[in-house]
Chain A
Amino acid sequence: MRIKNQLHTISTLAIIVLIIFISFFILSASRYKTAKSVLNIADEVQIKFFVSTSLRDQYLLYREDRPKEQWVLVNQNLDNLLENLQALKGEDKNIKDIVEAKKKGSALFQRIIANTSLIKSSLPNKQVYSELDNRLISQMYIRHNEFFNGVQEIRSGTEKEVEKTYRNLITAITVLAVILSFIVIFSSWHLNRLISRRLEILHVGADIISQGKLEYRINIEGEDEFSDLATSFNSMTSKLQMNNEQLELERARSVQNAKLASLGEMSASIAHEINNPLSVIQLTNSRLLEKIKKEQLATDTIVHSLEKNQGAVDRINKIIKGLTNLSRDAVNEDIQVFSVENMMEQVLSLVGQKLNYANVELRVLIPPGDLFIESSLTQISQVLINLINNAHDAIANLPEKWIQVEFKLMPESALVQCSVTDSGNGIPPEIAEKIMQPFFTTKEVGKGTGLGLSISKEIIETLGGKFYIDHECPHTCFVFELPKIFNR
């Protein structure tokens, strides 16, 4: 069930409970108010009745007009009160009974008053009227007793009603408070449990994905907002994964292109490099051929010539091997342990001649006893060639031309630091900011791809290292640091 619908259900339930209890509360409050009013009126009726009986008895004792007239007034008040009582209680049988008893009692008193004048008269049978007076008084007492008992019953019944309605009011408030508290507590607990649990799944999933595991998918069951969010999240991750794969492919292509571009740039010097041993072979072969035609050659001479040629061939092989290694797509190359000296030898086989032609002095500083690194030989070679080529281009027009490649072992951090410094005066800050960005170049159009430094930086970072410009160095100095042992 969706959280929105659950909230809707809970609020509807709370509203229904509220409506029921408020209705009950209003009903009880109304009954309480009515019962209270009835009780007050019943009390007033009792008081008026006592006054009325007192006046009645005064009249019966002295048969004078004053108590009779006052009785009439009190009786009228009593009638008004009973009307109010009837208005409040409606068709209540007890009220009807007391109104009837009151009516009969009043009628009897009026009859007594009327009969009194007969008693006071000079009629011959006035004793009969005295007897009637007694009978009427007795009947009036009976009716007044009925009335009084009825009022008492109404009063005690109303007192109970007041207590009951008051209890109902308290109960309604208590039950309402308990039910609403229960709804609030339960819904808070339920939603908290539901949301926290599902948020936790999302949180863990987001953490895993942020670590680069784009193949991870968040699994939230159900059909609520969180499952929708998880689906959106998974969809986003899928697209991100596809884009990342595409980007990786593009990067690999760029690296390869940059390598090929470097190779292209080096092709003239490489061709020259290969041409030298070939000339040696050609010259040796020509001399050997001339000697063969003129005279019988001694075995030593032949061996010497062939050894000379073999040396030239080895040199060519070395150059070709270096080229082959460099041109290979090294993205998926296995990590290996290699010697820094050997690596530099290969690198120099490719760039050494170029530097010689440009009269650039190359200094290679390797700690005594060589240095062994577990990493990608090809990719690090490529970075070094990039940096040396860039340095070559940068100092081409300087009067002082030198490049220094220095390897250091940093024992405290188990890192190998390599700095490539040239005789330049450093990189201006405005260029340094952008120099690592792809396609940024200070070279002439057609001479550089603008990818060398950005790819070099990416290669080093992929291998778990750092790549930066050493701004403290008075010269132009690029530094990269690598773990001595590849961190898988």
Chain B
Amino acid sequence: MFRVFFLLLMGLLVSSCNKHIFAKAPSPLKKITIAYTFQPQSTLIHVAKEKGFFAEEGLEVVPLMHQYGKTALRSVLENEADLATVAETPLLFSILNDDKIFILSTIVASSQNSAIIARKDAGISKAHHLKGKKIGVTPLTTGDFFLDSLLIANGMTRKDIIPVPVLPDDMEEALKLKKIDAASTWNYPLTQIKHLLGDNGILFFDEDIYTETFNLASKQDFVTKNPEIIKQLIRAVVKAQEFVKNHPKEAQEIMARVTNKTPELIKEVWNSFSFNVTLDQTILITLEDEARWAIKNKLTDKTKVPDFKKFIYADALKSVSPSAYKLNRVENEN
């Protein structure tokens, strides 16, 4: 009995020594630059960075912060960053512009993030009152497409209003100075403006007409040359997704800290988003919808809706989280 115990003890000691002596030295972290935003749509990237999930996967992430996804994507196209978090609308225009990009994964979806906030003192209390009003919008963004959709849903077209190009961060000031009567925008500016206008503000939204996606995108060249990095990146973001699902309060605290917003604001907009790392039909349908809209409104020279599947790189997601890849199912179903 004692002999057996002694042998077991020795075995444990030897295996313990082996672990310490022969443990692999950690390989150096691979440095990548991600262009992302302080918007709630970039929550998974912030959480992955703050919780060290990128480092766990062997990546050293250099953040390149932007106001919104359109500029983040531009920094990728201009080789300032390797990856970007960006909504589908800038991606659409990039594809229509023949940029060689890949969509790696959708990281958030929402049909409640976009809205039009209007000033009541401009005589707006119903959606059709928007007719003839000056509406601030950031061109070629989700706000632009949402504005179009909301007008259509209320029997109007773009011709019925006066669109005013405004940068997202300038919307609040433009409304305050009455340069515009309403603004088509997203969070956090949307909720901040709503609070600012108080009783003078009115929101118009319709969750049946638009589903926004926020995605991870990169240049095709970078992706094909660094498939392992893409896998590591996706793995880290999937870890962040699980963390957000299981520890929403802590994730909100992280977002409040890194974006310098109040926890109340973070909490207020939190439930408008589904933080799922996935590749499903939503991104394809939305891109096709927006492509038709862009072609019809002559926002592009293209006359044909591209095959967006060619711009989706699914290998990494399929490898890391096979159940998150849902494009095949829908193809079969339809």
Contact = CB atoms under 8 A, between A and B. Distances in A.
Contacts of B149: 135
A155 to B, nearest CB: 11
Interface in A348-380: none
B208 A148 contact: no
B153 A132 contact: yes
Contacts of B152: 128, 131-132, 135
A148 B333 contact: yes
Nearest to B290: A138
A136 B326 contact: no
Q: Is the interface of A mostly helix, strand, loop or mixed?
A: helix
Interface in B166-209: 207-209
Given A138-B289, A141-B281, A129 B155 contact: yes
Interface string A115-158: 00000000001001101101110110110011011001100100
A142 B208 contact: no
Contacts of A403: none
Contact of A141 (B111, B285, B329): B285
Nearest to A129: B155
B326 A149 contact: yes
B150 to A, nearest CB: 10
A183 to B, nearest CB: 23
Most buried by B among A108, A128, A139: A139
A145 B280 contact: yes
Nearest to A111: B208
Contacts of B211: 139, 142
B208 A108 contact: yes
B209 A139 contact: yes
B209 A135 contact: yes
Interface in B296-334: 323, 326, 329-330, 333
B333 A136 contact: no
A292 interface: no
A148 B329 contact: yes
B329 A138 contact: no
B194 to A, nearest CB: 24
Among A104, A136, A145, max chain B CB count under 10 A is at A145
B323 A104 contact: no
B253 interface: no
A136 B289 CA distance: 10
A50 B149 CA distance: 29
B286 A138 contact: yes
Contact of B329 (A125, A132, A135, A152): A152
A258 B244 CA distance: 114
B289 A53 contact: no
Contacts of B285: 138, 141-142, 145
A142 B326 CA distance: 12
A49 B207 CA distance: 23
A280 to B, nearest CB: 98
A16 interface: no
Contacts of A136: 208-209
Nearest to A50: B333
B272 interface: no
Which of A136, A142, A153 has the most B CB atoms < 10 Å from its CB? A142
A432 interface: no
A149 B156 contact: no
Nearest to A130: B152
B286 A142 contact: yes
A107 interface: yes
Nearest to B289: A138
A158 B132 CA distance: 54
B208 A107 contact: yes
Contacts of B330: 145, 148-149
Interface of B: 111, 149, 152-153, 155-157, 207-211, 280-282, 285-286, 288-289, 292, 323, 326, 329-330, 333
29 contacts: A111-B208, A128-B152, A128-B155, A131-B152, A132-B152, A132-B153, A134-B289, A134-B292, A135-B152, A135-B209, A135-B289, A136-B208, A136-B209, A138-B288, A139-B111, A139-B208, A139-B209, A139-B211, A141-B281, A141-B285, A145-B280, A145-B285, A145-B326, A146-B282, A148-B329, A148-B333, A149-B329, A153-B323, A156-B323
Given A139-B210, A142-B211, 8 more contacts: A129-B155, A135-B153, A135-B210, A135-B289, A136-B208, A145-B280, A145-B330, A156-B323
